[in-house]
Amino acid sequence: MPVVTYDNTDIPVDDEGFFTEPARWTEPMAEQVAKEAGIDTLTERHWIVIRFMRAQYAAKGTGPTVRVLGKTSGVSVKELYQLFPKGPAKTAAKIAGIPKPRGCI
Amino acid sequence: MGKHIVILGGGTAGTMAANRLCRTYDRSECRITVVDQNDDHLYQPGLLFVPFGLAQPRHLVRSRPRQLAPAVDYKMARIDRVDLDARTVRLAGGVRLSYDVLVVATGATLLPEETDGLTGPGWREKVFTFYDLPGAAGLRRALEVFEGGRLVIDVADLPLKCPVAPLEFAFLADWYFQQRGIRDRVELTYVTPLDGAFTQPVAAGALGGLLKDKGIELVTEFALGEVDGEGGRLVSYDEREVPFDLAVVVPLHGGAAYVERSEGLGDELGFVPVDPHTLQLPGRPEVFAIGDAAGLPASKAGSVAHFEGEVLVHNIGRHLAGQPLDASFDGHANCFVETGFHKALLIDFNYDTEPLSGHFPGPVGLPLLKESRAAHLGKLAFEWLYWHSLLPGRELPGIGSAMPEHGKRRIFH
Ligand SMILES: Cc1cc2nc3c(=O)[nH]c(=O)nc-3n(C[C@H](O)[C@H](O)[C@H](O)COP(=O)(O)OP(=O)(O)OC[C@H]3O[C@@H](n4cnc5c(N)ncnc54)[C@H](O)[C@@H]3O)c2cc1C
């Protein structure tokens, strides 16, 4: 399993770079992951989504899809795409240090 | 005193479950009530064929109560709300039903108005869905007068019922225009929010290959944000555009509105988040959900409702007897994928195993993941089976809830 270094800590990730152990995530790591995903600064609006992703993961064991995020996070789908241009659910999950959201079929 | 089992929804799943339960219990043990908002049972798989003139709308609808065993009480009413604590269902008009066991089988609802512009200018003129009867019939007229240009098939988002139906539509459109002799004047494009033609890699490969062979362009990872009917454009949230002369859109799906209104019953999209194996609502052992209404990582398909039914009836029996549940649903689904030119291919999968090649249901059977005439005949025969065997709740010999493994070629990644 690949290991990357964020915030001077070795973090195991999956092949696509998603955290496999969400408990090891810290807020400073989010900034670094975001930069790698092409997002230079995390604004308060980004943080609303990141915290929401973590809370949902803790409650349900998987991160929400974009549609569910749009309905429940207080940030519309349109704005989610502005904040996280390439696939908001996946990008936000990566920055929030949780595994890739399981989509539905 | 007999128990009262209330089944909400008398579509594919509710009807099959009611008829199966009826065979298991006599009236003194269990009273079974089915509630639905109308009396017309629609054979939904037939909707795919209507736009191409291969099925007549009037042949797809039959009386809903007549599909139910005589011992089932049928109530035609709109469901307004479920009160889980009081174990009652409130119907529009104020009638209340109390239940010992509740089965939610109210399916999935189409939500075209949730996508900007989808039901705006051009709706039902050059923007259609074939997922309901008026839409499928309107699309038939639009296809008849279509003399060339860009026809785009778009899936707005997941989940959707019968995830293969939009692909089948694309394959049949290719066939239809060839038969009309104008295929060279029609550009066909398949647009999906997924990163391939289908969810699971092996099936996505096979189905994507078919799109390619048939000259159908594939646009992936397209999250539909807006439909501009007047300008003839689909616009994604990340501001990509797909132009069209005729658009066939599968709208967003949600659960029935009353599920969202009923506290503790639904998830954010109005589906019932039951245990994927027991089909029971966590914390409410007397509440089950099956069919499209269930929020499961399984396909929303009639075949899934059929396989779930077997597990449901067994588990309701155990629950009523005060025993722990022991039947477990594995997510089994199988779908015939119509590919045009009198051919189809069959896919068979479950929660853990993606569609594989080989044969179904055993080594001697229909080829899997490969086009054949036999699978096409299977798809056509399915309509008869639906009304005469599946809805009455009969078992199909050799085809059980658990996904068969023999006859399949395993693929190791
Ligand atoms: C175009 C198309 C093609 C398909 N092809 C296939 C196929 O080839 N194979 C396959 O297996 N599946 C196919 N399906 C999917 C299949 O039809 C559904 O998965 C199946 O019907 C699900 O059954 P259900 O009972 O859960 O929902 P439904 O059959 O939709 O029944 C739900 C019922 O609940 C009722 N209801 C909803 N809300 C309320 C309310 N508030 N009050 C009262 N009643 C209410 C509705 O009137 C309806 O009768 C297809 C679907 C479509 C649209």
Q: How far apart are CA B78 and CA B81, in angstroms?
A: 9
Instruction: Give the three-state DSSP class for A17.
Output: coil
Q: Which residues contact A47 (CB under 8 A, 6 or more apart)?
A: none
Q: Is the pLDDT of residue B397 over 80?
A: no
To the nearest 10 degrees (0 to 180), the angle between helices B12-24 and B302-320 is: 40
CB contact under 8 A, A104 and B221: no
Res B1: pLDDT = 61
Q: Is the pLDDT of residue A99 over 90?
A: yes
> How far apart are the CA of B252 and the centre of ligand 1, in A?
15
Q: What is the pTM of this model?
A: 0.94
Q: What does the pLDDT average to over A64-93?
A: 93
What are residue B188's phi and psi, to 5 degrees?
A: -105, 130
Res A105: pLDDT = 42
Cβ count within 10 A of residue A93: 27
Please tell me the distance in Å from A8's CA to the nearest CA on chain B.
34
Q: Is the pLDDT of residue A4 over 50?
A: yes
CA of residue B386 relative to chain centroid, distance: 14
> How far apart are the CA of B11 and the centre of ligand 1, in A?
6
Contact by Cβ (8 Å): B6, B97: yes
What is the position in ligand 1's atom list of the atom closest to the CA of B256?
38
Banded pLDDT at B195 (limits 50, 70, 90)? confident
Q: How far apart are CA B29 and CA B97, in angstroms?
A: 18
Give the residue whose CA is nearest to atom 41 of ligand 1: B79
Report which of residues B411 and A95 the model is more confident about.
A95
Res B11: pLDDT = 98
Res B413: pLDDT = 37
- Rg (Cα) of chain A, in Å, rounded? 13
Q: For the segment B115-138, what is each residue's pLDDT rounded down to a tens digit? A: 999 999 999 999 999 999 999 999
Q: Is B358 on the interface with A (CB under 8 A)?
A: no
Res B144: pLDDT = 97
3-state secondary structure B89-157: EEECCCCEEECCEEEECCCEEECHHHCECCCCCCECCCEECCCCHHHHHHHHHHHHCCCCEEEEEEECC
Residue written as tokens 């065979």?
A: B23
Q: What does the pLDDT average to over B248-255?
A: 98
Residue written as tokens 């995830």?
A: B163
Q: What is the ipTM of this complex?
A: 0.85
Instruction: Give the three-state DSSP class for A43.
Output: coil
3-state secondary structure chain B: CCEEEEEECCCHHHHHHHHHHHHHCCCCCEEEEEEECCCEEECHHHHHCHHHCCCCHHHHEEECHHHCCCCCEEEECCEEEEECCCCEEEECCCCEEECCEEEECCCEEECHHHCECCCCCCECCCEECCCCHHHHHHHHHHHHCCCCEEEEEEECCCCCECCCHHHHHHHHHHHHHHHCCCHHHEEEEEECCCCCCCCCHHHHHHHHHHHHHCCCEEECCCCEEEEECCCCEEEECCCCEEECCEEEEECCEEECHHHHHCCCCCCCCCCECCCCCCCEECCEEEEEECHHHECCCCCECHHHHHHHHHHHHHHHHHHHCCCCCCCCCCCCEEEEEEEECCEEEEEEECCCCCCCEEEECCCCCEEECCCEHHHHHHHHHHHHHHHHHHCCCCCECCECCCCCCCCEECCCC
Res B412: pLDDT = 41
Q: How far apart are CA B97 and CA B82, in angstroms?
A: 10
For the ranges A51-65, B33-47, B102-116, B253-267, the lowest mean pLDDT is seen at A51-65
For the ranges A87-91, B143-147, B258-262, the lowest mean pLDDT is seen at A87-91
For the ranges A19-23, A87-91, B30-34, the lowest mean pLDDT is seen at A87-91
Q: Write out chain B residues lying below 8 Å of A53, CB-based.
A: none
Banded pLDDT at A1 (limits 50, 70, 90)? confident
Which amino acid does the sequence have at B152?
A: V
| Partner-chain residue, chosen from B158, B225, B299, that has the shortest CB–CB distance to A103 | B158
Maximum separation of any 2 CA atoms in chain A, in Å: 38
Q: Write out chain A residues lying below 8 Å of B237, CB-based.
A: 66, 77-78, 80-81
Q: Is the pLDDT of residue A19 over 60?
A: yes
Average pLDDT, chain A: 92
Q: Is the pLDDT of residue B156 over 80?
A: yes
Average pLDDT, chain B: 93
Q: What does the pLDDT average to over A57-61?
A: 91
Which amino acid does the sequence have at A89?
A: A
CB of residue B350 inside a 6 A radius of ligand 1: no
Q: Pick the closest to residue B393 from B308, B276, B318, B316 (CA basis).
A: B308
Banded pLDDT at B402 (limits 50, 70, 90)? confident
Res B399: pLDDT = 66
Q: For the segment B211-240, what is each residue's pLDDT rounded down to a tens digit? A: 999 999 999 999 999 999 999 999 999 999
Q: Write out chain A residues lying below 8 Å of B268, CB-based.
A: 64, 68, 71-72
Which structure tokens are listed for B179?
């038969």
CB contact under 8 A, B223 and A68: no
Q: Is the pLDDT of residue B410 over 80?
A: no
Which residue(s) pair with B310 in the sheet? Answer: none
Q: Is the pLDDT of residue B365 over 60?
A: yes
Q: What does the pLDDT average to over A45-74?
A: 93
Banded pLDDT at A68 (limits 50, 70, 90)? very high
Res A104: pLDDT = 47
Please tell me the distance in Å from B2's CA to the nearest CA on chain A.
37
Q: What does the pLDDT average to over B392-409?
A: 70
For the ranges B104-108, B142-146, B325-329, the lowest mean pLDDT is seen at B325-329
Which residue(s) pair with B104 in the sheet? Answer: B8, B289
Q: What does the pLDDT average to over B256-266?
A: 97
Report which of residues A33 and B405 the model is more confident about.
A33
Beta-strand pair B357-360/B408-409: antiparallel
Cβ count within 10 A of residue A8: 7
Q: How far apart are CA B196 and CA A27, in angstroms?
A: 34
For the ranges A82-91, B128-137, B308-317, the lowest mean pLDDT is seen at A82-91
